[in-house]
Amino acid sequence: MRTARVSFGGAIHEAIEYGGQLQLKDGRIVEEKDVIWLTPIVPRTVFALGLNYADHAAELAFDAPSEPLVFLKGPNTFIGHQAYTRRPADVTYMHYECELAVVIGKTARHVKKEDAYSFIKGYSVANDYAIRDYLENYYRPNLRVKNRDTCTPFGPWLVDADDVSDPMNLQLTTHVNGKLVQQGTTADMIFDIPELIAYLSSFMTLSENDVIMTGTPKGSVNTSVGDVVVTEIEGIGRLVNTIIGDEAFPNR
């Protein structure tokens, strides 16, 4: 089952896919174009992985890390499917990062790798935009790069864990304005999903709706205002985002 959270008719609803339309929990059938897509869950603690694909690490001129490079994200940065991400006018390099998002389903502490999958509620797609101009070498990558408002599209669906037979063998692609710019497979993660859950839960307690964004493969290309960026993961979802400029934000 795939579930979404949408705004429709002045309220927030859970919805499921219904033959190209959406069925709200109260039974109503609505068109996708008539809803506002919210993030598929309200994320609690969100972890993101840096350099978790060897080809992307090489692309950024880093050696593959010996332990997971983890950073955290706050609630301000998340937006849903079909939403808008801001590119500041003064930056020279802003790139998307297509990532498999793992949603934790229950309290997890000192989890063994072989048990890790039983702690997963489901999967979704995240786009972990980065603005390289703002990179500095303190707690890198820092929040000014990775926790900007609107810079983490997340969705459209939460796909039940039971419906994903092998999350470590899924194709990831990103298209910008219809052109393929990033392609990889989750099989190439350096630290795989069970290792990440075991690692994080070895020193802190994970809870329901914590999210692990598992990193991105090679294929970073600069994006521009007006670009339509589609990050897609086989069997999980197709997350559409449009980049907009400063003029849409007169207060900032």
Binding stretches for another protein (CB under 8 A) = 44-45, 47, 69-77, 134, 136-144, 147-149, 203-207, 251-252
Q: Which is nearer to another protein, 116 or 206 (CB)?
A: 206
Q: Measured between alpha carbons, how far is residue 104 from residues 23, 42, 48, 121, 142 in Å?
A: 25, 12, 14, 5, 24
Minimum distance, C-beta of residue 147 to another protein, in the bound complex (Å): 6
Residue type, 88: P
Contact 90, 252 (CB under 8 A): no
For the bound state, the minimum distance from the C-beta of residue 11 to another protein, rounded and expressed in Å, comes to 21
Is residue 215 within 8 A of residue 127, CB to CB? The reply is no
Nearest approach, Cβ of residue 249 and another protein (Å)? 8
The residue among 18 and 249 lying less far from another protein, judged by its C-beta, is: 249
Burial (0-12, 13-18, 19+ Cβ within 10 Å), 81: buried
Question: Smaller CB distance to another protein: residue 197 or 240?
Answer: 197
Give the integer Cα–Cα distance in Å for 42 and 106.
15
- CB 18, min distance to another protein, A: 34
Instruction: CB nearer to another protein: give 28 or 144.
Output: 144
